[in-house]
Amino acid sequence: MPKTIKKVQEVVARAMKNGESKSHPYEGSYNGSVFTLYHYGTPILMFDPSDNRIIETGGWSNSDRDAIYSALAHFGYNAWVTGSERVAKKEGFEQMGSFHIKRY
């Protein structure tokens, strides 16, 4: 089971209030309709808090998984976040995977 990262939840709270927040290695931004969470500068979650909808996830490390889980928990979105799939290689570079997320 993923662990909750308090730093991520603090980043989410500040970004929702101020539009953006940084606490290395996490960043959050909120443009009034979509919240985006970054880990080391890479977007790993796009979430629409107005209708509690995940738009997109990315990443594949355990820390990415835990950060996504922590951000969703902040919004009251109770879900299991499990392993990522790597997507096709393109021109020698592997694209980011996407986590499986199931609400409970």
pLDDT in tens, 36-46: 999 999 999 99
User: Residue 46: which residues within 8 A CB-CB, separation 6 or more?
Assistant: 34, 35, 36, 54, 55, 56, 57
Q: With a cut of 80, say whether residue 65 has pLDDT above it.
A: yes
Q: With a cut of 50, say whether residue 89 has pLDDT above it.
A: no
For the chain, the domains span 6-103
So what's the pLDDT on residue 99? Answer: 72
Contact at 8 Å (CB) between 50 and 33? Answer: yes
Question: What is the average per-residue pLDDT within 28-49?
Answer: 96
Q: With a cut of 70, say whether residue 93 has pLDDT above it.
A: no
> In 3-state terms, what secondary structure has residue 102?
strand
Q: What are phi and psi of 49, to 5 degrees?
A: -70, -20
User: Residue 76: which residues within 8 A CB-CB, separation 6 or more?
Assistant: 52
Instruction: Indicate the pTM of the whole model.
Output: 0.84
Question: What is the average per-residue pLDDT within 52-80?
Answer: 90
